[in-house]
Amino acid sequence: MGSQVSEMSAPEESRQRTHFARMDAKADPVTAALIREEFSGWLRTQFSLDAAKISDVVLAVNEALANAAESAYAAADQPGAMHVLAEYDPAAAVLSVTVTDEGSWLSADGKPRDVARGRGIPLMHALADRAVIDGSATGTRVRLEWTGIDAV
């Protein structure tokens, strides 16, 4: 048997190039680290970014992943799901990354968790051109955006 090589249509190839998605991933530190590495690889191959910018984007996304992995399901018996979607708008030269979970924004006793740590959210705001965090009792959505991003 010979191997088959299938060619992607232009829209499929474009979508693959401009999107990175990991849906229904287990919200735990091991999975978060794997997604960070996959995202970093995708970022390096799809965009013309210097090392400092790559580091900034990966660190900001890592903080969002870490928050979902460490905090979203802290009161649950086992981790739930987290979802990551990165989209690139070539017309606007904007890269946006959304990390969501269906966990709890607050701890079981209704108080914010571990206020002694708390550097992730300020880091995301400092590293992204725009960072929006929507938290509720039914989950958290973190949307990070960078402007002036050029594709390869």
In a domain, 4, yes or no: no
Question: What tens digit of pLDDT does each residue of 11-43 get?
Answer: 544 444 589 999 999 999 999 999 999 999 999
- Residue 16 confidence (pLDDT): 47
Question: What tens digit of pLDDT does each residue of 98-131 get?
Answer: 999 998 865 555 555 555 566 888 999 999 999 9
Could you tell me the CATH number of the domain that includes residue 41? 3.30.565.10
In a domain, 2, yes or no: no
Specify whether the CB–CB gap between 88 and 94 falls below 8 A.
Answer: yes
Q: Which two tokens stand for residue 77?
A: 């018996």
Question: What is d(CA 99, CA 66) in angstroms, rounded to the nearest whole number?
Answer: 10
pTM of the model: 0.81
Question: What is d(CA 20, CA 118) in angstroms, rounded to the nearest whole number?
Answer: 27
How many structural domains does the chain have?
1
In a domain, 41, yes or no: yes
Q: Domain of residue 143: give its range.
A: 10-147
